[in-house]
Structure 1
Amino acid sequence: MAFQIPRGTQDILPGEVERWQYIENTARELCKTYQYKEIRTPIFEHTELFARGVGESTDIVQKEMYTFEDKKGRSITLRPEGTAAAVRAFVEKKLFANPQQPTKLYYIGPMFRYERPQTGRFRQFVQFGIEAMGSNDPAIDAEVISLAMALYEKLGLTKLKLIINSLGDAESRKAHRDALIAHFEPRIDEFCSDCQHRLKQNPLRILDCKKDRDHELMETAPSILDFLNEESKLYFEKVQQYLTSIGISYEVDPGLVRGLDYYNHTAFEIMSDAEGFGAITTLCGGGRYNGLAKDIGGPETPGIGFALSIERLLAALDAEGVKLPIDQHIDCYIVTMGDKAKDMSVSLLYNLRKAGLTVEKDYEDKKMKAQFKAADRLNARFVAVLGDDEIEKNIISVKNMETGTQEEVSIDELVSYLSK
């Protein structure tokens, strides 16, 4: 029987995985400059965490989670996103008690959602995300957004569009919720079953429906911006002021609601304007979730974060034709001729690698010409040729593959010669 990879997953092979490593390393270095520390949470959690944290009315909880029972009958779910687990760890490990706040965390790891696979979207996908918990300062909102924008720009993307909105505080959201129910209820039977279910549970989610997005009531739906109280208005104005002060362009979109129940105040998405990127242009999404820690058993703690898919990021890089500056060379390839040379190459290889050099040799008893071809395929900067005669003289012939020059070096000095 020939086995095949499950639908919606992918093998990331050598030649491609280097792009992933470059992106992940860039993200880690950027987080270091912003003082975000890495957190690693379990791949699976108790299902109730996501039901309460992400929201019962979301597509993720209702349709997309990989959920199963363990041997003791407990409901377990493969994590569909990173925020709920990070906040659970924040609460459980009492990170809120640390004197230095906000607590600034980042994560990189696989997530799982059962949805229709398409370009840049998989059932197992990798998210990079950050969370800042413990501050109500709108400046941290601007910082979180700026980190996301900085990552895309560092990687070479230029066709970006930042969309922001305010979902307001609890008072503002209640007033908007009542207005949405009054707006949609008389004609709710014209909407899909999901929207009908959400009308009383979370009517804001109706605005995020993909099936009914062209319905005429969507165009005339009450805007959250008309229901913001004074405090929420001032907060949103401050976020915009800070974004402007650091030179980040944005558009305000009152229709931006995000797909998770825990958002309040600032919500944002970063989109790709690259031609040919596809119908779904969102690269990154995030926002505030001030009530989430309390919802999962912790103290009232403000928080904000974002998450982005590495797969979507790679698709955007391809759409813009961006080539990442990945070094595909090795430092040296050792060509051997004769049994003594073959035996000595083992220790040579070890010593060169111990010195931090990237080195390879032949393990298939290839002829000299074939070994040189292998060195070419590996983009070797130098080729060191070792034969039985060279061993007798304690020398090795080193060829610079870029210039074509060749010189003899003492075998004992090969490490220092190549290290220079």
Structure 2
Amino acid sequence: MKDGIAVIGAGRIGVPWAAVLSVELSETVTCIDVDPDRVDTINRGEAPFQEPQLESYIETGVAEGTLSATTDPSVISDHQYVAITVNAPRNRMEEFLDVIREYAEFIDDDHVIINRTTIPVDVVTKMEATIADSAASDPTFTVFPERLAEGKAIEEIKTLPKIVGVSDERGKDQMTELLAGLECDIEFTDPETTMFVKLIDNSYRDALFAIANQIAFTADQLDLDAHTAISLANREYPRNDIPTPGTVGGKCLPKDPHFLMDSRVCEQPTTPDLFSATRRTNSSIPAYVVTEILRQQPTAVAVLGTSYKGGVGDTYNSPAKRIADDLQAQGIAVSAYDPYVTTDATLEETLSGADTVILAVNHPEFDGIEPTINETVASDAIVYDLWGMLEETRLERPYEGFGIAPKPNADRS
């Protein structure tokens, strides 16, 4: 008799979910991945990447015998649920479906398929058909895309409302049975609407950040301070909640707005295309920052932060890393430091000798870093703050940044 869950893909979607289900619900969970090193790491009870609480959950699950990992996809046959968490890169949906076909040969009528991968709405039915055709059977197909924030994955798996797409009562009953132990709200709808909701989540957030970033671009042209203006606009005004300007990276936000505007939408000539505009706004920031820095004619730049957002160590699609790489491509000596990413140099070593410092990621560890900058870099070194995180009154160096009004001692010629 089949039981437990096979999780295809031991990445940032699959591993936290597998770990929580194995510990909180005592489910037998097997992670399947093509990377033997990642499999070995999990089986040693260690986390393959940084995520708060994750290693503790993996260690417990492995010790209790409810969590394991393998490179052998045939174990799918032993499990009741099959969760798909493999990556689906933009403009490569056929490759994604080819991967699904490889695993589908181990699927039969008794399986409950849970798609946790974010894909365009029009690919949902293609995925279901691909599984049915390749498996030569009719398994229960459900859609349950992740909606987690990296750095908060464990807690949000347990507490966020679950929006699940099902096509029939069997799917609803099976998913209710699986998720009920997490003691959070479960909302059921059809598979396409469920995926639509996930794409709305990230497209909305990307648009919010684009508004803040457009304000910062405009403030730079007007020699005004976007951070001051946004703070005043938000202050005790119930209809504003404008976020801080800054970069947008990672796996989801740069991709999901494009998924939302899928082929059926874009083929309509009368359809507005707001989300392509918000993507252009947010994706243009690294090149803009590089241009601003090059105007200063630096020779040595220290980049503080290389991950894609504050508080995490993931460098996938990192705007900060792109800034560092683009400056280096211009022949500039670039050193980088990130408290969440393994590097050889210390913060002080990274700053030493730099004539320009870029605070590129809003890590909490950079709060109060001004004295270290003052003590380490030359008195005429320029500090460029991408997030408005530094206190100008505590910084004894020329200071400017994205959406930050120019200061008298900053050379903007």
Same fold (TM over 0.5): no
* Bigger-Rg structure (1/2): 1
Could you say which structure has the greater relative contact order, defined with CA pairs below 8 angstroms and 6 or more residues apart? 1
